[in-house]
């Protein structure tokens, strides 16, 4: 029987924390992702292309993006990349389309992105609900890699299981379901945001849809819905607790965003 995504609604900061702790009590390791609108799917940017939608075409787009980035990025990169994964994590950090989907080890970072990316033009009048996704990455990988007898855990770029997801691997040999991986912390933002990643394979369906049709254990994935009428108050609550732009983006850009908001612009 397909797994179902458990859903809870929370209207206050304390209710959100209670829902998070309830999921944590059932799962030793939890990752989080915040979405500013319910229609935002758990899908990486490469798979959101408005026109290109076949795997062979996307494989070529990925290859061309990587080549162009390799050719033109050296003046702006402080170090050489050790492998294709280091380059992919770095590209993801700067918004280049990849097969990576950002997750975080911190529920409060996810909450920040869910609330601060919701209706950016008018913080006082949100037009839609916000979502926090919760995931047991070890249980996800156990199901994702069940065909090779993987017993669970989070993988990294040094492990053999990741080869089946590599840009250098032929399309026919690639895995379908995403795998949860540790990324290279090669930027201050990834460190501050406690960044983790889902690395997609051939399947172009959002994670929440794949979860319903693959051999996952119930309770592997859940979500918290923050109704639009509660967003303004909860947003103010997290800002008062120091979960602000300069904490999430520890650079001049983050400081600039914080100052701009603080003075009512």
Return the number of other C-beta atoms located less than 10 Å from residue 106's C-beta.
Answer: 17
Max CA pair span of the chain: 55
Tell me, what's the pLDDT at 67? 94
Tell me, what's the pLDDT at 42? 97
Q: Is the dihedral of CA 16, 18, 23, 25 positive or negative?
A: positive
Q: How far is Cα 164 from Cα 180, in angstroms, rounded to an integer?
A: 13
Average pLDDT, stretch 5-34?
A: 96
φ, ψ at 160 (rounded to 5°): -65, -25
Is it the case that residue 186 has pLDDT exceeding 80?
A: no
Tell me, what's the pLDDT at 171? 86
Q: How far is Cα 86 from Cα 81, in angstroms, rounded to an integer?
A: 6
Average pLDDT, stretch 180-207?
A: 84
pLDDT digits (tens, 9 = 90+) for 73-110: 889 887 788 889 989 988 998 889 999 999 999 999 99
Q: Which helix (H) or strand (E) holds 113?
A: helix 107-116
Of 133, 153, 160, nearest in space to 221 by CA: 133
Of 10, 41, 36, nearest in space to 23 by CA: 10
Tell me the pLDDT band of 120, cut-offs 50, 70 and 90: low
Pairing of β 130-135 and β 221-226: antiparallel
φ, ψ at 93 (rounded to 5°): -60, -35
- Which residue, chain included where needed, has tokens 């040999």? 173
Domains of the chain, by residue range, sit at 6-262
Tell me the pLDDT band of 122, cut-offs 50, 70 and 90: low
Tell me, what's the pLDDT at 78? 78
pLDDT digits (tens, 9 = 90+) for 197-246: 999 999 999 999 999 876 888 999 999 999 999 999 999 999 999 999 99
Q: What is the DSSP string of 147-187?
A: GGT-----B-TTSGGGGGG-TTS-GGG--SS-EEEPPP--S
Q: How far is Cα 162 from Cα 38, in angstroms, rounded to an integer?
A: 30
Is it the case that residue 189 has pLDDT exceeding 80?
A: no
Distance of CA 96 to the CA centre of its chain: 14
Is it the case that residue 121 has pLDDT exceeding 60?
A: no
């Amino acid at each position: 029987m397909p797994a179902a995504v458990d859903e809870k609604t929370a209207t206050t900061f304390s209710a959100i924390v209670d829902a998070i702790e309830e999921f944590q009590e059932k799962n030793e390791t939890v990752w989080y992702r915040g979405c500013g609108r319910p229609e935002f799917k758990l899908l990486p940017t490469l798979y959101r292309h408005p026109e290109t939608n076949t795997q062979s075409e996307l494989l070529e787009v990925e290859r061309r993006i990587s080549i162009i980035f390799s050719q033109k990025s050296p003046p702006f990169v402080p170090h050489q990349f050790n492998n294709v994964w280091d380059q992919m994590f770095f590209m993801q950090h700067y918004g280049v389309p990849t097969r990576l989907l950002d997750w975080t080890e911190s529920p409060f970072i996810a909450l920040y992105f869910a609330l601060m990316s919701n209706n950016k033009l008018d913080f006082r009048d949100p037009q839609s609900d916000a979502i926090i996704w919760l995931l047991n990455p070890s249980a996800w990988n156990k199901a994702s890699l069940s065909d090779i007898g993987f017993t669970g855990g989070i993988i990294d770029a040094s492990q053999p299981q990741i080869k089946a997801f590599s840009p250098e691997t032929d399309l026919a040999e690639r895995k379908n379901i995403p795998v949860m991986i540790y990324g290279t912390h090669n930027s201050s933002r990834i460190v501050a945001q406690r960044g983790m990643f889902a690395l997609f394979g051939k399947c172009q369906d959002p994670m929440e849809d794949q979860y319903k049709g693959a051999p996952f254990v119930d309770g592997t994935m859940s979500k918290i819905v923050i109704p639009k009428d509660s967003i303004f108050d909860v947003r103010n609550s997290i800002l008062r607790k120091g979960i602000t732009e300069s904490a999430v983006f520890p650079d001049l850009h983050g400081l600039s965003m914080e100052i701009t908001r603080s003075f009512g612009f």
